[in-house]
Amino acid sequence: MDSLLLILMLIAVLGVGSQWVAWKFQLPAIVVMSIAGLLAGPIFGLMNPEEAFGDLYRPFISIAVAIILFEGSLNLNFKEVRGLGKPVFRIVTWGAFLAWILGSLTAHYIAGLSLAVSFVIGGIFIVTGPTVILPLLRQSKLKPTPAKILKWEGIIVDPFGALLALFAFEIILFLSADGRDATALLYFFLASLFAVVLGIVFGKVTGWMFESGHLPEFLKSPAVFVAVTTCFIIADEVKHETGLLAVTAMGMTLANLGISSIKDMRHFKENISILLVSTVFILLTASLTRDTLIDVFRPEIIGYVLLMLFIVRPLSIFLSTVKSGLSLREKTLVGWIAPRGIVALTVASYFATILADEGFEGASLVTPLTFALVFSTVVVHGFSIGWFAKKLDLSSEGSPGVLIVGSNRFTNSIAKVMKELDIPAVVVDSSWDRLNRARKEGIQHNHCEILSEQTEYTMDFTPYDYLLAATEYDSYNALVCSTFLPEFGRKHVFRLPKQGDSGDHIVDIDHTIGGKEVFVPAEGLEELKYKLKSGYVLRKTTLTDKYSFADYKNDRDDETILLFILKQSKQIEFFAEDMEATSSAGDTIVSMTPPSKEFNKIQEKLEEKRNGKS
């Protein structure tokens, strides 16, 4: 393929298409992207981006790495890190250090790399990035302790692996090069200090412009993109490789300023960064040669991967968590799960070229070694985490859960029915008074403001796939749904119908705002609460081969309000606007039934019992 435009189109289509396929079929995205890139590049020879881009290839990869590292550092708020507990602290400090030393020695003695190259890539391979680990956690539904450890390890260590590799590279370069004096090393540390200061300044200026209103909303994402690339390039021009340090400092500064606009920068992360991750991964895998793929199967590389999987990772976790309070089962699971992702591959590719330019022995093996480790860990850990967690009894099995916002008579009733059906459900409210009834009835509850940034770190969202906003305020329900749309998905976010004569008197809400309305024709929370007070009951009806959904609809009272269907597959379908409900034998329908019908059924049963006795 000769046309650069066609190559750009193919890279974008394969990158975003791979993300969609991974989402649709619940597969690790990095595996799908790897296969797509390999098919388009070395296997079928449709393109070779490195040759096509020429001199632009390396600068593009460098900027992409900078933005990906900025994204990772944007999650590092020191206030949240402080309260993570002893196991997480141990793993991200001593555990990371042990993983670096053990991984570097393994690369040297098993894979045959020089010590210099080994200690550089050893730093990179401590990274278990959030772009890989977070989707796996959602998919496997781990219990809170292991989920929290794996999540925060990925977030905290993500930006530091590249920095560890950077410092190792410069120190080893100084120690191994002839004719270098301490001036070169001093210059590097001064340049690093300049990069940190530059990143802090860019972070503070960007935060100030966001908070003071000097940037309109439509310019915020482009402004962050320009600021990150400018910060990276200035630092990199002063001293190569220090640009990574500058953007990390910039992201951490923004994360700790406490500004309300941090959400806007996370939108930047969700949009620009995901696109970059997709395209860069296709670029890197499509640029691999067939010789590199053959090198992946060399005995020393296979041996290195096996030792990293079965010795280095478990040993670093077990040693760093001695007397930390973790159980043996939790240590075993955390010691097994360590998928390397896009950060490891992109940063390793970045350093592979630099190490080769400096003439280090074994630099040519960095790319196949990295690809082998990344692909192996993602496949092995991605497909084993759920099974292994169940074997260790560390998986929250059962139906997908429901997060219910707002505690009242109706939400408590629906949460109680879900509990009876073994559906994980939690009622969230910022008022202890409103939560009092839920507490008395034994309903799982959480006292927090769902829109608070702190809630993201104090509450585990892993068990919950659906969100139902059911407070008395229509505008608040819509706001909650809009806020959580990116996390739960548009099809899994619901709100009560707008109220007629109560609430905040919203006549109309744009169809693009908030989630779908449920439980129509009921007119909001007040009507639902009134119906319960007047004798309506929540009823469960299980369909059979002889009693179909059509039969149920014919038999039900006209005033019955359909709530949701629990499928045999454990999936939940809420009765929402424009929903075409389908149900089959084994499914359970939950509804609010008028008291008259329920009373008649009770009377019929009592009559049957009397007749039986007589």
Q: Give me the mean pLDDT over the 8-25 stretch.
A: 88
**pLDDT at res. 583:** 80
Above 80 in pLDDT, residue 153? yes
Give me the percent of the chain exceeding a pLDDT of 70: 88
Q: Give me the mean pLDDT over the 377-390 stretch.
A: 87
Same CATH topology for 4-391 and 401-613: the answer is no
Per-residue pLDDT of 429-486, as tens digits, reads 988 889 998 888 889 999 888 887 667 666 777 788 899 999 988 888 888 988 888 7
Q: Which residue did the predictor score with more confidence, 369 or 65?
A: 369
Q: Which residue did the predictor score with more confidence, 143 or 43?
A: 43
Per-residue pLDDT of 320-374, as tens digits, reads 999 888 899 999 999 999 988 777 887 888 788 888 887 887 888 888 999 899 8
Instruction: Give me the amino acid identity at 95.
Output: G
**pLDDT at res. 132:** 76
Q: Give me the mean pLDDT over the 137-141 stretch.
A: 74
Relative orientation angle of helices 220-238 and 57-73, to the nearest 10 degrees: 110
**pLDDT at res. 176:** 72
- The secondary structure element, H or E, covering residue 403 is strand 401-405
Q: Are strands 561-566 and 588-593 parallel, antiparallel or unpaired?
A: antiparallel
- The secondary structure element, H or E, covering residue 122 is helix 115-124
Q: Taking the alpha carbons of 191, 196, 201, 207 in that order, is the dihedral positive or negative?
A: positive
Per-residue pLDDT of 301-314, as tens digits, reads 999 999 999 999 99
Name the band, by pLDDT with cuts 50, 70 and 90, for residue 614.
very low
Mean of pLDDT over the chain: 83
Above 70 in pLDDT, residue 262? no
The lowest-confidence range among 46-55, 271-280, 344-353, 554-563 is 271-280
Q: Which CATH number fits domain 4-391: 1.10.274.10, 3.30.1600.10, 1.10.4010.10, 1.20.1530.10?
A: 1.20.1530.10
Q: Which CATH architecture has domain 401-613?
A: 3-Layer(aba) Sandwich (3.40)
- The secondary structure element, H or E, covering residue 592 is strand 588-593
**pLDDT at res. 2:** 63
Q: What's phi and psi for 591, nearest 5 deg?
A: -145, 165
Give me the percent of the chain exceeding a pLDDT of 90: 23
**Which residue in 231, 99, 82, 85 sits closest to 157, CA to CA?**
99
Per-residue pLDDT of 518-576, as tens digits, reads 887 777 888 888 888 888 889 898 888 888 888 888 888 888 888 999 988 888 989 88
Above 70 in pLDDT, residue 502? no
Question: What pTM did the predictor assign?
Answer: 0.73
Q: How far apart are CA 80 and CA 255, in angstroms?
A: 11
**Which residue in 123, 133, 183, 185 sits closest to 159, CA to CA?**
123
Neighbours of 320 (CB within 10 A): 22
Q: How far apart are CA 14 and CA 19, in angstroms?
A: 9
Each domain of the chain, given as residue ranges in start order, spans: 4-391, 401-613
**Which residue in 480, 477, 474 sits closest to 502, CA to CA?**
474
C-alpha distances in angstroms, 605 versus 321, 602, 609, 614?
Answer: 60, 5, 6, 14
Per-residue pLDDT of 70-129, as tens digits, reads 877 777 776 655 655 788 888 988 999 999 999 999 999 999 888 888 998 998 899 886
Above 90 in pLDDT, residue 197? yes
Above 90 in pLDDT, residue 407? yes
Name the band, by pLDDT with cuts 50, 70 and 90, for residue 265.
low
Record the tokens describing residue 82, joined without a space: 């402080």
The lowest-confidence range among 230-234, 258-262, 317-321, 348-352 is 258-262
Q: Give me the mean pLDDT over the 415-438 stretch.
A: 91
The C-alpha angle with vertex 210 and arms to 207 and 214, in degrees rounded to 5, equals: 125
**pLDDT at res. 232:** 94
Q: How far apart are CA 551 and CA 278, in angstroms?
A: 48
